[in-house]
Amino acid sequence: MNRNSDESGSAIAEFVLIATPLFIPALIFFSSMQQSAKEEMTVSTLARQSLRAFTTADDLSQGHQRIRFILNQYRQLENQGRSSDDLRPGFTYNISCQSQGCLKPGSLVELSLYRSFEIEVPDSDQMARVESRKAAAVARGYVDKWRDES
């Protein structure tokens, strides 16, 4: 078979021209999935650490202060080196306790932690659009049964 010199590389060029528009949305999709998973893991870890700080506090006021301290410290570390337009949003949380009280020995405490974030998702016209999402985590734990009830 006689090969023309003007056709060398045409298969590569065709592949690049055809495959590139198909791979870009897939790349954006996997990137957004990775970012969502990262946010969920971060919120889950912070919920556990915040619950631990709350259940070891001496009183409710100190417990809430500890939670705010942990969340604010994380946010400050995360926002280091970012411009004021690119700062990450804060967290919101809810605490629910059994009827006997939040910090009574043996009491079950549940902390729900939430954070909004934005990710790029593929759109129908092969471009990406920004979409708001919310990461949520729930941590449950017991107050130490042998703690001093002062």
- Does 54 map to a domain? yes
Number of domains in the chain: 1
- Does 150 map to a domain? no
Q: Looking at the DSSP assignment, which residues form a beta bridge with residue 138?
A: 112
Q: What is the pLDDT of residues 35-66, one digit of tens each?
A: 899 999 999 999 999 999 999 999 999 999 99
Give the separation between CA 99 and CA 17, rounded to whole angstroms: 65
- Does 147 map to a domain? no
Q: Is residue 137 very low, low, confident or very high in pLDDT (cuts 50, 70, 90)?
A: very high
- Does 94 map to a domain? yes
Give the separation between CA 44 and CA 49, rounded to whole angstroms: 9
**Mean pLDDT of the chain, nearest integer:** 86
The predicted model scores a pTM of 0.78
pLDDT at residue 17 is higher than 80? yes
Give the separation between CA 106 and CA 108, rounded to whole angstroms: 7
- Does 148 map to a domain? no
Q: What is the pLDDT of residues 85-121, one digit of tens each?
A: 777 888 999 999 976 788 888 899 999 999 998 877 7
Which domain range does residue 38 map to? 5-142
